[in-house]
Chains A and B, each alone.
Chain A
Amino acid sequence: MLDVREVGKRFGEVVALDGISLSVGDGAILGFLGPNGAGKSTTMRAVMGLISIDSGSISWNGAPITHATRRRFGYMPAERGMYPKMTVRDQLVYFAKLAGLSTSDAASAATTWMERVDIAHRADDEVQALSSGNQQRVQLAIALVHDPELLILDEPFSGLDPVAVETMKTILAEQMRAGTSVLFSSHQLDLVSDISRDVVIVEAGRVVMAGDVQHLRERAGMRDVSVGFDTDTAWTPSIDGATVTQATARTAHVRVPAGTDPAVVLADANRAGRVVEFAFTPPDLSEVFLAAIGQVPA
């Protein structure tokens, strides 16, 4: 289990991490969310030993992380890190050997992972000749080629087409089932809720929200109501705290306080017109995220 405890880091006058804590259990996957500059990459680089920390602690399975421990981690930095003129196959073999695999095991693992990320047809092409999406696939394969215990993925979905996103989601799910712990950051919040049950949201170097995605949505201070009418209807809710967020001739999207009774809302809508569709849901993760970082009132 990865355990990051009260980690602090300053760069001169800038506080990059202000007591960040998170943990990733064995075989768990944790989404790491936050606006640019919130401290996600810095936290991940600290886990990988690429920066020193000023305070707090980082441990793996209860012990401080050493160089030997880190060789069992897989890392995918936000800025891609590969040799541009090396072929895909050589790249994977090289990193596998660096991680301690024998030459034959490295070659075998490289072949396996090129097929898994669907890049085997470009095995003998230089990385610089690949599209950014395909480079991303290679980068993921590099992180996975030595069968790591912990995966640290910094923005793994950026630049991927929908097919590649599905491939990556499948691979991450398989890794999780195989017992690999995964910490990944993303700006694509819908993807995060698809992949990860747990998230940590950070801002300005501090954790502002953490927990199960469903619970975070449930804990939000408002609910989204979607109503469809059979004819053109102008509905102005007469419910305390309700606001119309979007409306068309026959639909209305309304936000109401979390404690509001759905039956009361439905009745209010029915008074305005004949309701044919009705949904009363917690806000989605992106709204929770925006609320958490103070961009939109919950």
Chain B
Amino acid sequence: MSREIRQRLRSRGFAVTTVLICLGVLGAGVLNRALRGDDSPTRYDVAVVGRAPAGFETALQSAAKALGIRIDVSSVADRDAAVSRVSSGDDDAAVDVAAAQLIADRAPPDELAAAIDAGWQSAASRAAARDAGLDDTQITSVLAPQGLARTSISGAADSNDDVGRLVGSATAILLFISINAFGGMVLTGVVEEKSTGVVEVLLAHVRAHQLLAGKVFGIGVVAMMQFSAAVLTGVVALRISGTEVPNSVWFGLPTTIAWFVVGFVLYSTLFALAGSFVSRQEDAQGAAAPISMVFTAAYLTVFVLGGAPYSTAARVVSILPPFAPLLMPLRVSIGAASVLEIVVSAVLLLAATFGMLRLAGTVYGRTLLHRGSRLKWKQALTMKSS
């Protein structure tokens, strides 16, 4: 195992790809920040002449928030001072309470006018209601009745689904690339040991299942280092991007490393088995084709089902072991997976991986010393010791 770790860490390719991946992730965050620009709300200054009616400022700020603007209110002594401040540009508008007028240099911005109107009308209505003998509770029930409850036909709606989906999809792509790349190293490493004959010398000292474990876990450690670096860079990139990140993403992103580790062990064990079926590098990809097909199918489900993460299909497929390592992190990032689903999926994936390691430990010892033409999966699983 230490040989595998040392060999991969020494490789220039590992260093270069790790740096490139991290730079790519970081770059995405910086780019997002640059494209968004300054997304703080537009700010307006409003002067008020005279004593504003009760509830005016509260209603004004509510309307401003709804419109996505910020209004700072100040009092001025008289109308002349207000006009002076507006004409000099110190204030964007002024409200003359006594005259019931909105003063602006030219036409006030629509959103500002709408907010001030809403605040004024609300205050006027409140005053009229109070004059009519209504108490505060009755006034509130008349002026601010309960709105409609929200419900989504595709499950719990979240305004930040898009961020979760984006992060989850990016993570799935990274998972796919990493497992493919490092699983490929396991595949070619096994075939190299067979084709060079070194496996016969190795087996004099270590058992076949130890050899398998050393290769899978050795390369796995290196793969996890690179993947973790990319994920941690992703956290930094999200911070930099200025995007409002939902809690599900902060939970989902680090736990993706766990999905990666188990998923890597599952798939790379299969890759190692496939490698033990052949004696030449040129036959390796053919032997691994069934695994690659399943893995690619799992990858495609991320895009097919990622758009409907609350659907029954997404719920079912994401707990199946071959699909879970790619699809479940996406659903977790969106916040679409329940705790039960996550637990069931994790348990099934761990059980499948453990079972695969047990099976591989047995089969590997027989197929590793096979020479000649490529073994088929059925032959391999049923063959006896040579």
Task: State whether A71 and B205 are in contact (beta carbons under 8 Å apart), knowing that A50-B369, A94-B3 are contacts in the complex.
Answer: yes
B204 and A73 form a contact (CB under 8 A): yes
Whole-angstrom distance between the alpha carbons of A67 and B202 in the complex? 12
**A45 near B200 (CB under 8 angstroms)?**
yes
A contacts with B: majority SS? loop
A77 and B201 form a contact (CB under 8 A): yes
Does A48 contact B385, Cβ atoms closer than 8 Å? no
B199 contacts partner chain A, Cβ-Cβ < 8 Å: yes
B357-374 interface with A by 8 A CB criterion: 369
Find residues 208-250 in chain B having any chain A CB closer than 8 Å to their own CB: none
Establish whether residues A142 and B207, one from each chain, have CB atoms under 8 Å apart when the complex forms.
Answer: no
Q: A70-B204, A75-B204, A98-B206 are in contact. Are A52 and B198 (CB under 8 A)?
A: no
Q: Which of A48, A71, A95 contacts B200 (CB 8 A)?
A: A48
Segment at the B interface, from A80-88, A158-166, A275-283: A80-88
Contact indicator B196/A75 (Cβ below 8 Å): no
- What does the 1/0 interface line of B2-35 toward A look like (CB < 8 Å)? 0100010000000000000000000000000000
Min CB distance B163 to A, Å, is 44
CB distance from B222 to the nearest CB of A (A): 16
Please tell me if the beta carbons of A81 and B206 are within 8 angstroms of each other in the complex. no
A50 and B200 contact, CB distance less than 8 A? yes
Interface members, chain A 57-114 (any B CB < 8 Å): 67, 70-71, 73, 75, 77, 79-84, 86, 94-95, 98-100
User: Is B205 a contact of A95 with CB atoms below 8 Å?
Assistant: yes
Point out the residue from B7, B200, B205, B207 that lies within 8 Å of A77, measured CB to CB: B200
Instruction: Give B151-185 as 1s and 0s: 1 = Cβ < 8 Å from A's Cβ atoms.
Output: 00000000000000000000000000000000000
A244 lies within 8 A of chain B by Cβ: no
> Is the CB–CB distance between B196 and A81 below 8 Å?
yes
List residues 245-285 of chain A with CB under 8 A from any CB of chain B. none
Interface size class of A (residues with CB under 8 A): 20 to 34
Do the beta carbons of B200 and A99 come within 8 Å of each other?
no
B-contacting residues, A116-157, CB 8 Å: 142
A291 on interface, CB distance cutoff 8 Å: no
Query: How distant is the Cα of A84 from the Cα of B7 in the complex, in angstroms?
Result: 13
Do B196 and A82 touch (CB < 8 A)?
Answer: yes
Are the CB atoms of B198 and A75 closer together than 8 Å? no
| A67 closest partner in B (C-beta) | B207
* Cα–Cα, bound, A77→B192 (Å): 16
Question: Is the CB–CB distance between A83 and B196 below 8 Å?
Answer: yes
CB distance A82 to B204 under 8 Å?
A: no
Q: With a CB–CB cut-off of 8 A, which chain A residues contact B142?
A: none
Q: How far is the CA of A50 from the CA of B205 in the complex (A)?
A: 11
Is B203 close to A, CB under 8 A?
A: yes
Selected contact of B199 from candidates A81, A99, A100, CB within 8 Å:
A81
A52 contact from B200, B201, B205, B385, Cβ within 8 A = B385
Q: Is A15 an interface residue (CB 8 A)?
A: no
Complex contact A52–B386 (CB within 8 A): yes
Measured between beta carbons, the chain B residues less than 8 angstroms from A239 are: none
How far is B78's CA from A94's CA once the two chains are assembled, in angstroms?
A: 91
A-B contact pairs, 12 of them (CB 8 A): A48-B204, A51-B369, A51-B385, A67-B207, A70-B205, A71-B204, A77-B200, A79-B200, A80-B196, A81-B198, A83-B198, A86-B7
Residue numbers of B with Cβ under 8 A of A are 3, 7, 192-193, 196-207, 369, 385-386
New contact pairs (14) apart from A50-B200, A79-B200, CB-CB < 8 Å: A48-B204, A49-B204, A51-B385, A52-B385, A67-B207, A71-B204, A71-B205, A75-B200, A75-B201, A81-B197, A83-B198, A84-B192, A94-B3, A95-B205
